[in-house]
Amino acid sequence: MTNGSLDIWLHPKIDREDQSGVLSLLQRLNIAIDVACALDYLHNHSVQPIIHCDLKPSNILLDNDMVAHVSDFGLARLLSTVTNSSQKLTSTIGIKGSIGNTAPEYGTGNEVSIEGDVYSFGVFLLEMFLGKRPTDEMFKDDLNLHSFVRMALPEQLVQIVDPALLVRGVEEMPAAAVAAREYYNENEIEADEETQAIVNHSQVEANVYKCLISVLEIGLACSIESQKERMKMEEVSKELHSIKNAFLGSRI
């Protein structure tokens, strides 16, 4: 794919000559919708339901038009419609997925499931809008990407999201966005007064704030520990489309 994987856009390396640009809020919304629609198709519209089992930014590829494509089905499983447990086709034997992205129930020997993909999508969504990997060194003990966002919302939204999303006209000011992102990556959630002024100066607009809150809430609803309480991908897709339409409408 022309524009490589989503991972290199979210986590650029400073010493790379082919440095990718900064993804705008709208671009990230579109990517989230593309991936949600892909999972909705796999889960609900394929002849036989397919579970991806390893959804993460490095497995999301971007084409020439920045349309996202879900790739790498090396761990994918067909979901059996057979109710007899002795005939089920799915198993977690040998399926580990990626650390930080894999549903917690897989670690206790549960069978792979559609809900497991939903969990991975929730983590993916939080990672894309925070710019932090679920394996970041700050996440240890009982703190993970989900709990980090849950504790911060809504009061600390500005402090946790990718600062590139808070800079006005991010398309016209990639350097400022990248500089802000690098600072936050180095200093975690705490920022000094000077850097905080950069964020405040960007004057986060109400429509941007509302959009980010709504997206992160979906990420949380998908990545909760309770398997049965997670959103369905069909519902996720519809909600993300509504969020995008509201965001575009408010801009007009």
Instruction: Report helix, strand and coil shares of the chain as percent, to nearest 5.
Output: 50, 5, 45
Identify the active-site residue in 7, 15, 18, 54.
Answer: 54
Residue 54: active-site member:
yes
97-101 contacts: CB < 8 A, separation 24 or more? 97/53, 97/54, 98/54, 98/56, 99/134, 99/135, 100/133, 100/134, 100/135, 100/139, 100/144, 100/145, 101/54, 101/55, 101/56, 101/134
Whole-angstrom distance, CA of residue 74 vs CA of residue 196? 43
Whole-angstrom distance, CA of residue 126 vs CA of residue 161? 9
CA 52 to centroid of chain Cα atoms = 15
Q: DSSP letter for 62, please.
A: E
Residues noted as catalytic: 54
